[in-house]
Amino acid sequence: MTRPVVALISALALACGLLAACSDGVELSEPDPLATSLANGRWVDLTHTLSEDAVFWPTAPEYSHEEAAFGMTEGGYFYSSYNLHLSEHGGTHLDAPIHFAEGRQTADEVPLSSLIGPAAVLDVSQQANADRDYLVTVADIEAWEAAHGELADGTILLIRTGFDRYWPDRQGYLGTVLRGEEGVAGLNFPGIAEEAAHFLVEYRDLAAVGIDTASLDNGPSKDFQAHRILLGANVPGFENVANLGELPAIGAMVIALPTKVAGGSGAPLRIVANIPAARGK
Ligand SMILES: [Zn+2]
């Protein structure tokens, strides 16, 4: 953890401690347990760096980060500024429910309660190694629950296929380097089966679902059932998530903060996790 983060968390701990003191009459010096846990835990960045190398959907326009100014000004001070142009659905990003469900939440409407919460990491990397188009099944979820307990309300379910290891190589990550419709036809990567998406919205109450591939549905999908079912239930998606191999199956906390785009169907996302010291890994 870097020093500024420690300082920030310490400040948070102090602020929370003070708040607790105001509301509960707790001693001023008693730190908030959550802030203490965050301060002592390990932060993991689950975000791919946004750059010209970042993987975008084959039909998305090219990303650009154009220099508007860079260098010493006439005033004798340095100044730099850039213009960013990108699809909502490239790099690590949020899929807002309205992406596939008319009338559902837009990027700016997704509540913080859908973006911050306890993580459950479902690792299907072995299955995805054997089958690039692997679909996560209800049996995979049940096996996870047999080991770790039922997915609690408000959980952020993160599906680890291991495909982030290919990033940003498009052939490995997407199954194709082609762009446009030809590229869409060549997509091969794992996703979530329709029955599994149904199971999650019918029988569980998740905050959000994330995956370390370009889409909640697998590459060959033509009807995008996982998107339609999950987003249709106002369960947002996080796509192109990174580093899920660094998280324990249970016990980490996720903070996923997308850019608050008015009316957006998605948005660039900074997603991080904190692993309490007691969890290790
Ligand atoms: Zn998307």
Instruction: Indicate the pTM of the whole model.
Output: 0.88
Q: How far is the CA of 191 from the centre of ligand 1 (A)?
A: 13
273 vs 252: CA distance, rounded Å: 6
255 forms beta bridges with: 116, 272
Which residue type is seen at 180? Answer: G
* Span 45-279 CATH architecture: 3-Layer(bba) Sandwich (3.50)
Q: What is the pLDDT of residue 278?
A: 82
Q: What is the pLDDT of residue 29?
A: 76
Q: How far is the CA of 13 from the centre of ligand 1 (A)?
A: 35
Q: How far is the CA of 54 from the centre of ligand 1 (A)?
A: 14
Which residue stretches of the chain have pLDDT < 50?
1-22
Q: Identify residues whose C-beta is under 5 A from ligand 1, the ion.
A: 89, 95, 239, 266
Q: How far is the CA of 274 from the centre of ligand 1 (A)?
A: 24
Active site residues: 99
Q: What is the pLDDT of residue 28?
A: 67
H-helix or E-strand spanning residue 44: strand 42-45
H-helix or E-strand spanning residue 146: helix 138-148
Q: What is the pLDDT of residue 170?
A: 96
Q: What is the pLDDT of residue 7?
A: 45
Q: What is the pLDDT of residue 27?
A: 61
Residue written as tokens 């770790």?
148
Total residues belonging to the chain? 281
* Domain residue extents for the chain: 3-40, 45-279
